[in-house]
Chains A and B, each alone.
Chain A
Amino acid sequence: MSETEKFDAIIIGAGPAGIACAYTLAKAGKEVLVIERADNPGGKNLTGGRLYTYALEMLEEGLSEEAALERKVTHEQIMILSEGRGTTIDYFDSGFSPYEGPPQSYTVLRARFDEWLAGKAEEVGANIVCGIRVDDVIEEAGKIKGIIAGDDEIYSDIVIAADGVNSFIAQRAGLIPDIPASSVGVGVKEIIQLDTSVIEERFHLQDGEGAARMILGCTEGLHGGGFLYTNIDTISLGLVLMPEEVAAAGKPVAELFQEFKNHPAIYPLIAGGSTVEYGAHLVSEDGYHGLPKKLYREGLLLVGDAAGFVINSGYSIRGIDLAILSGIAAANGICASSDIAKAGPQYIKEMEKLNLLPTLKAASGYRDLLNIPRIYSNYPYLANDFLGNLFTVNGEVAAPMKKSLKALLKKHNISFWQLFKDGLRGYRAL
């Protein structure tokens, strides 16, 4: 293709970041090409997952109503496991699912959702081609001018790297170094099919309602945690772990996951179901601290996971909504720049306007909190032991609560001083 036939923008990757960008650009009348390596949009994509609808609504009002989503989340749950025990906090809020306006969040399966969203972008004029892997960017005189896929070279005014957490494009363009193993978690997940009525009974859900559950204390003390999301007729059950820690512990991720699945407080939730898929994906863990120094260079913008836009607070993971926002911001930045060389700085401004960078910054303390190793073993085990003592009635004279707590702190190797320091660290982080 000659220079004169070039596209206004080429977007690498048809995940939520890439599609949101394509949608916004196409609606503004730009000639956009999205290139995706999977057979269908979403075919390579895996999440926890839940999607916060505000981001879809920002893309287009009313979009979340027709979106390919699973259940509206009305039950926010935190589960603390230790050997043979479990504590679940279940926060129900009917306000998360108001009668007017869209529910705050839905559980989601990405193969379906991404394909649906891509279809929406096509309706407003975006070109999406699947089954093609982009191998490199074209660089001329210090500027990115297009992309290379196999023997094809395609030119555009600007390229958007929306290729996800393991962004080879951002690396090739020199915007990020190779990602360090310590900055990512590896997520493994099974999709377990169950009857709709069984799911609703087991999780106390009304028609269409759903539960989102984060699980602590299920990683044999390693940094990480589990998640469970109820979909329409499946359950997403997964575990996220830090690869280097797993390697040092010498226990395979796959095995840790199967043990988690068989925990006596987890298994009854999925019993009788059948697993229909097994997947894995990386997730950025460093949040604001891990953002690349530069999110653009002339001719190239980084969006979504390629830019490291993920917030993991321990009680929720957010990446899809941030991916959508960054895609919109990139498109707005491009449209607002009559001189395409200014699109990068304008993109940053647009992200400020959409509160994306401020949101990431405000959540920057979570990483410190989640780096306290005791969160993954000592504290969850202590909590369950404490409740265990509380509920134990066996005919013996119960020790005073204070004394029992003191003994438990000792058992779990936690000094008052340590508890105080961690409390302070947590307080500061939040």
Chain B
Amino acid sequence: MSIEKMTTTELLSLNKFNVDEEEAHIILDKNICAKCDDKPCLYVCPALLYKLDKDGNISFDYAGCLECGTCRLVCKAKGITKWVYPRGTFGVSFRYG
């Protein structure tokens, strides 16, 4: 893999994750998101986990989350109804940091 421009999908595949399949640590209320014009989450997430689907709605998958917390802070419309750190042992494990 060349390290010139890499996609976040390529980059995230290099990390060690233990995804909590039973409990999402971030939950959105898509109805609120639909009414939010700015959608800052699209730009601030370093993992680019917030995307627009073909109908212009936010799609989101918490697997791949780097747990930085940035999306929660910029979400003024409060479409993120739950944001907690993953349960113990779940989520990303940095081998370098």
Physical interaction between A and B? yes
Instruction: List the interface of chain A (C-beta within 8 A of B).
Output: 37-40, 42-47, 109-114, 130-133, 149, 165-166, 168, 178-181, 184, 186, 188, 190-192, 234, 236, 243-244, 246-247, 249-254, 257-258, 261-262, 267, 270-271, 273-282
| 7 residue pairs, one from A and one from B, having the closest CB atoms | A110-B97, A247-B40, A278-B11, A280-B46, A131-B89, A181-B73, A111-B97
User: Please, how many angstroms separate the alpha-carbon atoms of A179 and B86 in the complex?
Assistant: 20
Q: Which of A130, A252, A279 contacts B42 (CB 8 A)?
A: A252
Instruction: List the interface of chain B (C-beta within 8 A of A).
Output: 1, 3-6, 8, 11-12, 14-15, 18, 38, 40, 42-48, 66-70, 73-74, 84-89, 91-97
Please state if B85 and A262 are interface contacts (CB–CB under 8 Å): no
Please state if A110 and B94 are interface contacts (CB–CB under 8 Å): yes
Nearest residue (CB) in B for A163 is B85
12 CB contacts below 8 A, A to B, read A44-B94, A111-B96, A247-B38, A249-B43, A258-B5, A276-B95, A277-B15, A278-B66, A279-B66, A280-B47, A281-B68, A282-B68
Please state if B74 and A277 are interface contacts (CB–CB under 8 Å): no
Majority DSSP secondary structure for residues of A touching B? mixed
Please state if A38 and B74 are interface contacts (CB–CB under 8 Å): no
Please state if B74 and A181 are interface contacts (CB–CB under 8 Å): yes
- A276 CB → nearest B CB, Å: 6
Residue from B1, B88, B91, B92 having most chain A Cβ neighbours under 10 A: B88
User: Please, how many angstroms separate the alpha-carbon atoms of A137 and B2 in the complex?
Assistant: 47
Q: Which of A39, A246, A270 contacts B3 (CB 8 A)?
A: A270
- B62 CB → nearest A CB, Å: 14
Please state if A282 and B5 are interface contacts (CB–CB under 8 Å): no
Q: Which of A244, A257, A277 contacts B94 (CB 8 A)?
A: A277
* Chain B residues whose C-beta falls within 8 Å of the C-beta of A45 in the assembled complex: 94, 97
- A162 CB → nearest B CB, Å: 14
* Chain B residues whose C-beta falls within 8 Å of the C-beta of A168 in the assembled complex: 84-85
Please state if A262 and B5 are interface contacts (CB–CB under 8 Å): yes
* Chain B residues whose C-beta falls within 8 Å of the C-beta of A178 in the assembled complex: 73
Given A45-B97, A184-B73, A254-B8: A275 and B14 interface contact (C-beta under 8 Å): yes
Please state if B88 and A132 are interface contacts (CB–CB under 8 Å): yes
Please state if B43 and A47 are interface contacts (CB–CB under 8 Å): no
Nearest residue (CB) in B for A183 is B73
Please state if A37 and B85 are interface contacts (CB–CB under 8 Å): yes
Q: Which of B12, B46, B87, B93 contacts A43 (CB 8 A)?
A: B93
- A43 CB → nearest B CB, Å: 4
User: Please, how many angstroms separate the alpha-carbon atoms of A130 and B87 in the complex?
Assistant: 12
* Chain B residues whose C-beta falls within 8 Å of the C-beta of A110 in the assembled complex: 94, 96-97
User: Please, how many angstroms separate the alpha-carbon atoms of A348 and B4 in the complex?
Assistant: 48
Please state if B96 and A186 are interface contacts (CB–CB under 8 Å): no
* Chain B residues whose C-beta falls within 8 Å of the C-beta of A38 in the assembled complex: 89, 93
* Chain B residues whose C-beta falls within 8 Å of the C-beta of A181 in the assembled complex: 70, 73-74
- A232 CB → nearest B CB, Å: 11
- A36 CB → nearest B CB, Å: 8
Please state if A276 and B43 are interface contacts (CB–CB under 8 Å): no
